[in-house]
Structure 1
Amino acid sequence: MQGQPGNGSAEAGATPQPDQAALEREALGRVAHAVRHYRSGAGLEVARWQHNLNQLSEWHRAMVPQLAEKIAAARQCIYRNHLFLSAMLAMFEEDSGWAPPHLAPANAAADEYEDKVGAAVAPQDHDKVRYVLKNCARDWSAEGAAERAQSYGRITAELRRLFAGWPADAPQPPSVLVPGAGLARLCLEIVNMGFQAQGNEFSYFMLLASAYLLNGVERAEQWTIHPWCTASCNQPTVADQLRGVPIPDVYPAELVPAPGLLSMSAVGGRGDFAEVYASPEYAEAFDAVACCFFLDTAHNVLEYLEVIWHALRPGGYFVNLGPLLYHWADAHTYLEGEELSVELSLEEVKAAAAQVGFKLVRDEMVPAAFLCNERSMMQSSTYNCAFWTMQKVDRAAAATMAAGAAADQPAAK
């Protein structure tokens, strides 16, 4: 498919130094190692169920005779997930010829990582592999369509509205940057409208999965995964917990109407969004930036605002949908060392955007779910999201408009 992830460092104009390249290879190896050992990690959870079942009295075991069958079925679900993940990893070999240079050595790097640390996988990496499976269901299954409509659907409809007057004889369609592209479904939905889209992603977990989904699958519903099979709480039925989810719901290549419309700036450890797109080569490069559940991934959201302004052409649009969860806010509780985390209210973020040079042209709050298990007894992943469109203007003009808007507000009593 056109638009397979490319060499992020080349796109960013930076060549990794030897020490940096070694660190990146080790990071890639750690991720591929975790994917490779998904089955053993998930199996530990099922082994816990079995252990607890064995602790019950005969009378209590007789009350739930189906538990042994459920445990066996869960192991089969884990095995099917393992088959999908193994096929994904099999695509990444240094002599494969198709894989992006910084992803191609994934298997070799995993071998090196295992030689160094053994077979153990950090608990947080096991969690991230399960997170990939849930994201596959969100982005690439029919079951995830309703959730995608709440976020991707709103963003694509807004882009369609904003560029409805784009000249038919223009030399190229509108170009849209999608930071935090994840598994690239939003990118492909934008491309499917006839726009150009460039996705940007930092996580090797997401990069490996998106590269496979974009380039490795051969047909719709090629795989059936079981994203909730190890989630034992708040399940109405065993069938709900163990249900299979066919992916992808469409053959990804069918969403790309013409060559050259999709590209991926696959950073993969070579600097985050702000570092890459602050470079001179991306100055005024895009007609729009579309952020979905992305702004709060920043260490410093003010920097993100500045970089988005930098990457937009004059008059370009910044479309955003998401909460302000601030992913790094509690990093000090589980990481050694200090991690910068600037946590601002929505009001403060919008005021800062005006100072950066944005004019607010649409502003509302909308409900949107993220990785919500639609059959769970607990629906805790729906957010009241900020959904705005801002337009890049001269910084002085934006500040003047913001001051005027503030003056029009009724005085506090």
Structure 2
Amino acid sequence: MPPNDADKQMDADQEERQALGRVAHALRHYRSGVEPEVARWERNLSLLSPQHRALVPRLPEKIAAARQCIYRNQLFINAMLSMFVEDGEEGLAPPHLAPASAAADEYEAAVGGTVAPHDLDKARYVLKNIARDWSEEGAAERAQSYGRILRELRRLFAGWPAGAAEPPSVLVPGAGLARLCLEVVDMGFQAQGNEFSYFMLLTSAYLLNGWTIHPWCHNSCNQLSTDDQLRGVQVPDVHPAALVPGPGLLSMSAGDFGEVYRQPEYAAAFDAVAACFFLDTAHNVLEYLEVIWHTLRPGGYLVSLGPLLYHWADARSYLGGEQLSVELSLEEVKAAALALGFRLVREEMVEAGFLANPRSMMQASTYRCAFWTLQKPGADAGPATAAGGQQESAPPL
């Protein structure tokens, strides 16, 4: 390639390496990052009068136990990061993630031990995601979202020919820790997950062995008991390999959803898109709708469940500078989808939790979600007959 293109590619590769190193660095410093919160509990305890301290004699023991939970979380994270060794044993880690530890060393050499607050929040968020996706405790929350999407896919593709050469193919954007992808495959479909966050990519690549994590130990509010706050969660609740009946049925792609799937090779590549708590992660939800249209075969479906939190709406407060964030009402999103050419198949408002602590006194992370199915029209408006047909003219990408 021309020198200037080669330079641009080198710059892009270095930028990706720095991003990977920043994430691995934040995970590496999880324990030291949350220590100030535990120190705050100790400081507040020390400010109590002797009479008040006598009323809560087990608080010092509770604080010490919380430190042990955080330590065990760090052991899990350290074991995870140890898998990512540049030029290590082939096959242990995906090649694009293998440099994580070396990149973290480079990042730390440049910035020291400092971790940005939003990166520390994401490290805690990873632990809660693990509990949601890969523990028995998360089963009820998964049923509210994943369960509905899986039942809808089963209904939509009930007529898929038993003798078809391949099962229906489903794209799962914002795949997180890949539980929904594996459940789709376990149901008899093909699935391809897409995820942008290195926090999720590193963790999902590692979650093959059994661990105990403590996702709620940092939260001192709305706890019914000390045991609830410090409880361990066993993960994973099922071995991921047990959900994949054969080779070639599951794949994962890393990168920005819009950039990856707007490419020509993904035109009319999937029979369905299963989007769970995903549409509002877009800078521009209209672009997401266009890209989803692009990836679907005629007759294919978008099955979506989630709120409209719009993750980039307040990003300027922690990233600095203005960040594109197109915040539309549900009515406006639906109207835009119909204008692009989608047909509304079903529409329902449902309650679904997201990273909620099931034993907390405050269930704040329950959303009233839009659960809807849109279809890209095809010759016979059905995936089985449309899969081999001609693609309709797609909206411009």
Amino acid in structure 1 at the alignment position of 2:291:
V
User: Is residue 2:241 matched to residue 1:257?
Assistant: no
Aligned partners of 2:20 and 2:293: how far apart in 1?
A: 31
What secondary structure sits across from 1:228 in the alignment?
A: coil
For normalisation by structure 2, the TM-score amounts to: 0.92
Q: How many residues get paired?
A: 373
User: Is residue 2:275 matched to residue 1:287?
Assistant: no
Measured on the aligned residues, the alpha-carbon RMSD in Å equals 1.6
Aligned partners of 2:341 and 2:294: how far apart in 1?
A: 10
Amino acid in structure 1 at the alignment position of 2:82:
A
For normalisation by structure 1, the TM-score amounts to: 0.88
Q: Could you tell me which of 166, 169, 194 is aligned with 2:163? A: 169
**Percent of aligned positions with the same letter in both sequences?**
76
Counterpart in 1 of 2:386?
Answer: none
- Please list the CA deviations of residues 303-324 of structure 1 after superposition, one character each: whole Å capped at 9, or x if unmatched: 1000000000010011000011
Within-5 A mapping of 1:215-364: 217-218=208-209, 222-267=210-255, 272-364=256-348
Q: C-alpha displacement at 1:42, in angstroms?
A: 1.9
Within-5 A mapping of 1:55-204: 55-96=47-88, 97-98=90-91, 99-204=93-198
Q: Give structure 2 stretches of 5+ with no counterpart.
A: 1-5, 382-397
Q: Structure 1 segments of 4 or more deviating over 6 A?
A: none
Amino acid in structure 1 at the alignment position of 2:138:
G
Amino acid in structure 2 at the alignment position of 1:352:
A
User: Is residue 2:54 matched to residue 1:54?
Assistant: no
- Please list the CA deviations of residues 314-352 of structure 1 after superposition, one character each: whole Å capped at 9, or x if unmatched: 100110000111111122333322211111111111111
Aligned partners of 1:287 and 1:316: how far apart in 2?
A: 5
Aligned partners of 2:216 and 2:59: how far apart in 1?
A: 17
Aligned partners of 2:355 and 2:216: how far apart in 1?
A: 11
Counterpart in 1 of 2:377?
Answer: 393
Counterpart in 1 of 2:3?
Answer: none
User: Is residue 2:356 matched to residue 1:372?
Assistant: yes
Q: C-alpha displacement at 1:56, in angstroms?
A: 1.8
- Please list the CA deviations of residues 9-57 of structure 1 after superposition, one character each: whole Å capped at 9, or x if unmatched: xxxxx99810011111011001000111111112221111112211222
Q: Give structure 1 stretches of 5+ with no counterpart.
A: 1-13, 398-413
Q: 1:260 to 1:112 in 2, by over 3 A?
A: same
Q: C-alpha displacement at 1:394, in angstroms?
A: 6.6
**Would the aligned equivalents of 1:88 and 1:209 in 2 still touch at CA under 8 Å?**
yes
- Please list the CA deviations of residues 204-233 of structure 1 after superposition, one character each: whole Å capped at 9, or x if unmatched: 0000001111xxx24xxx211100001011
Q: C-alpha displacement at 1:60, in angstroms?
A: 1.7
- Please list the CA deviations of residues 227-284 of structure 1 after superposition, one character each: whole Å capped at 9, or x if unmatched: 00010111111111111111000011101111110000012xxxx2111101101000
**Would the aligned equivalents of 1:357 and 1:394 in 2 still touch at CA under 8 Å?**
no
Amino acid in structure 1 at the alignment position of 2:215:
P
Aligned partners of 1:359 and 1:80: how far apart in 2?
A: 50
